[in-house]
Chain A
Amino acid sequence: MSATARPGGGATLPGHQPRQGGRRDRRRGSARRRREARVAYLFVAPVVLGLLLFTAVPLAVSFGYSFTHWDLVAPAPTFVGWDNWIALTEDPRIGKVIWNTVRFILVGTTSFLLFSLLAALLTHTPRRFVGAYRAALFLPYVLSQIAVGIVWRWMFNSQTGPVTLAVELFGLDSPDWLLDPATAMISIAMVTTWQGIGYGMTLYIAGLNGVPESLLEAAKIDGAGAVRRFFSIVLPLISPTAFFLVVTSLIGALQLFDPVVAMTSSSSAVAAAGGPDNSTRTIVLYMYNQMFNYNEQISGLGYAATIAWMLALLTFLVTAVQFLLGRRFVHYEGAEPARAGRRRRTRKAAQP
């Protein structure tokens, strides 16, 4: 509350006095700047240390491990050169897990983007009860993917599951959802979409609220219909939100793990997940198998590290492609006028 009692005039304080040309002043300024930097380094020290200890160093060490063979029984890793990377290109299961992930993305990420937008369009106008609707739509997002997966495992049950019963209510033959290799990954994608809609919706609503009413009003006067207004005005203006959601949801999709474990493991062991017929085994699940499931191992931690690095490279590649595409298709509102304004101001300042 006390933040509201800010001085309107902004009294000139010692720290804010415009620097005058004097040499002594400049030296004092640089001393102050050095002191400020010292304090700043103390403030960021934990985060920087964490970046070094838990990201930078492990990233490099992990790359080193990818050239070794190490089942955890042996006391130390043995160097095997490019063997793991060669094995990676020859391992048919790698192709399989990547294809499984792509299938997940095709259904899951697209439906997530679409349905979150629909949910946002449904609830973005402030009116009565809208808060309650939003709260209900957001609820699944705060639940654990394990709990949600277990509930949906039952929803998809081929005898008593409500999804199956609902399909049969329409006189259709229900697929076996999680039990059929053709539909298992699609079922998982449906569940992650269901759980994520609230998140996407929340960000889309923030984006939609940023669309200026005057623009829509002007288009209406010019005779643009609701559909035209949506595609020509609203969609370009919320494209940064959509872009952010695409980038983050693809990074997440590449690391798919928890929902697969909850919905497909045939026993309580994590390593048993990925069925039926390996149709839902993901990159991270396969890496887990390589770490702990000894009967499938190629070279233990070494190969697991290779898979992890492949995942990192894949993530980097996918994100880089998106940023290249994003430069063409994402419209950042205000970017142009702001630049023009700055140019004008500098020109004016240069005149006298």
Chain B
Amino acid sequence: MSALTSAQAPTRAHPDAPIRRMSGARRRAQTRSVGYHAVTIVIVLAYIFPVVWAASMSLRTDENMFAADQLLPHPITFEHYQNLFAILPDLLRYFANTAVIVVFGTAGTLFSSALAGYALARFRFPGRGALLSVLLLTLMVPGQVTLIPQYVVFRQLDWINTPLPIIVPLLFGSAIATFFFRQFYLTLPRELEDAAAVDGAGAFRTFFAVITPLSGPAFLAVGLLTFVQLWNSFYVQSIYLSDQDSWVVTQALQSLVGRYNSQYGEIMAGVTLVSFPIIVIYLIFQRWIIRGIVTSGLAN
């Protein structure tokens, strides 16, 4: 505000041309900037309205549910959350089931993909180019094609309604994560390995003791993306986890639809609870998630 007035002041006091022109340009720039922020803020607020409104609905009383002035709920009530636990008494169990898949799935993806990405970035070996092309091709293969034979085998193994059919394939890494790690290791200076080689360290020692401690950013970016993706996924879970005791949170959410269609407070409480951990992680690690998206986008 004070910048605005000080920019205006000299125009009136000293009417000499250069100053007036400069302050005029500055004023124009300032109006443009104010206009930009006004427009952008309106767009952004309209854009995230559904998220905010859903969270707000979960805290409203039933009679205030559709009132326009309830963006900040008054009075606040937690009864919908209590009701939610009455409808889904095992809700915490679904969170635990989800956590098991997310933790083991992310750890497995990171381990195997980092190893392969490192080899693809550093070692020359027959079949390296072929492996890269095959990995690129698998990005085109829809998961549905490989799903049916996997389903048959996992059913034979009696793994249906356990997290194993989802976790075990992840232990072997993923194509996207492998590309990401390869891209990252290509940017690390080779002198690190050369120094380790002089010290007589083998490839595995070098990788785990020298390279991995420096790979924090890559592990964080891939780990967060995998974590978010596994937490949110639904399709594969709905195939393998039909027994209610084995559900993950997205299945629990989906189960509210239809049966409790008109109970908006409870549904939005469920949405908020399931999204809450992801939103917290996003707000803390936003920079790393964005970096992961950009790098894996450019890597391809």
B235 touches A54 (CB 8 A): no
Given contacts A268-B254, A312-B141, contact A150 B278 (CB under 8 A): no
Known: A136-B48, A142-B278. A150 touches B115 (CB 8 A): no
A265 touches B258 (CB 8 A): yes
Contacts of A41 in B (CB 8 A): 125
Contact between chains at B256 and A150 (CB < 8 Å): yes
Give 1 or 0 for each of B215-231: 1 = CB within 8 Å of chain A CB: 00000000000001001
Question: In angstroms, how far is the closest chain A Cβ from the Cβ of B4?
Answer: 15
Give the interface size bracket for B toward A.
35 or more
Interface pair B148/A308, CB less than 8 Å apart: yes
Determine the residue in chain B with the shortest Cβ distance to A205.
B294
Known A39-B123, A50-B173, A319-B140; judge A146-B234 contact (CB<8 A). yes
Contact B171 A46 (CB under 8 A): yes
Cβ contact of A162, chosen from B53, B115, B286, cutoff 8 A: B53
B134-A51 in contact (CB<8A): yes
Task: Point out the residue from A39, A155, A272 that lies within 8 Å of B203, measured CB to CB.
Answer: A39
Stretch at the interface among A2-10, A86-94, A214-222: A2-10
Q: Which residues of B contact A139 (CB under 8 A)?
A: 48, 51, 279, 282
- Does A85 reach chain B (CB closer than 8 Å)? no
Give bound CA distance, A105 to B277, whole Å.
31
B172 touches A312 (CB 8 A): no
Asked if residues A268 and B255 are in contact (CB atoms below 8 Å), the reply is yes
Is A158 interfacial (CB-CB < 8 Å)?
no
Q: How far is the CA of A152 from the CA of B145 in the complex (A)?
A: 30
Does B142 have its Cβ within 8 Å of any Cβ on chain A?
yes
A122 shortest CB reach to chain B, Å? 6
Residue A120, interface by CB 8 Å: no
A146-B253, A261-B234 are contacts. A268–B169 as well, Cβ < 8 Å?
Answer: no
Q: Which residues of B contact A53 (CB under 8 A)?
A: 169, 172
Q: Which B residues touch A14, using CB under 8 A?
A: 197-198
**In the complex, which residue of chain A has the Cβ closest to the Cβ of B111?**
A46
Choose the segment among B13-21, B72-80, B187-195 that binds chain A (4+ C-beta atoms closer than 8 Å). B187-195
Q: Which residues of A contact B6 (CB under 8 A)?
A: none
Q: Let me know if B83 is at the binding interface, CB within 8 A.
A: no
Interface presence of B49 (CB below 8 A): yes
Contacts of A255 in B (CB 8 A): 142-144
Residue pair B124, A122 in contact (C-beta under 8 Å): no
Count of A-B residue pairs with CB < 8 Å:
271
A65 to B298 Cα, complex, angstroms: 37
CA distance A160 to B67 in the complex (A): 10
Interface residues of A in 268-305 (CB under 8 A from B): 268-270, 272, 284, 287-288, 291, 301, 304-305
Of A49, A135, A301, chain B has the most CB atoms within 10 Å of the CB of: A135
Which residues of the other chain, B, contact A72 by a CB distance below 8 angstroms?
A: 155
What interface size band does chain A fall in?
35 or more
Residues from chain A with a CB closer than 8 A to the CB of B198 are 13-14
A122 adjacent to B115 (CB under 8 Å): no
When chains A and B are docked, how far (Å) is the Cα of A40 from the Cα of B289? Answer: 29
Among B49, B54, B113, B279, which residue has its beta carbon within 8 angstroms of that of A47?
A: B113
Cβ–Cβ < 8 Å partners of A267 in chain B: 257-259
Residue numbers of B with Cβ under 8 A of A are 33, 37, 40-41, 43-44, 47-51, 53-54, 66, 111-113, 115-116, 118-120, 123-126, 128, 131, 134-135, 138-152, 155, 169, 171-173, 178, 188-189, 191-192, 194, 197-198, 202-204, 207, 214, 228, 231-235, 238-239, 250, 253-259, 264, 267-268, 270-271, 274-275, 278-279, 281-283, 286, 289-290, 293-294, 297-298, 300
* A-B CB contact pairs (8 Å), 27 listed: A3-B192, A16-B194, A37-B123, A44-B116, A44-B131, A46-B115, A46-B173, A49-B172, A51-B135, A61-B149, A127-B33, A137-B48, A139-B282, A142-B279, A144-B233, A146-B253, A147-B275, A150-B254, A150-B270, A151-B271, A162-B53, A202-B293, A206-B298, A262-B254, A265-B258, A301-B148, A305-B148
- List of 4 A-B pairs having minimum Cβ-Cβ separation, nearest first: A50-B172, A144-B232, A43-B119, A40-B123
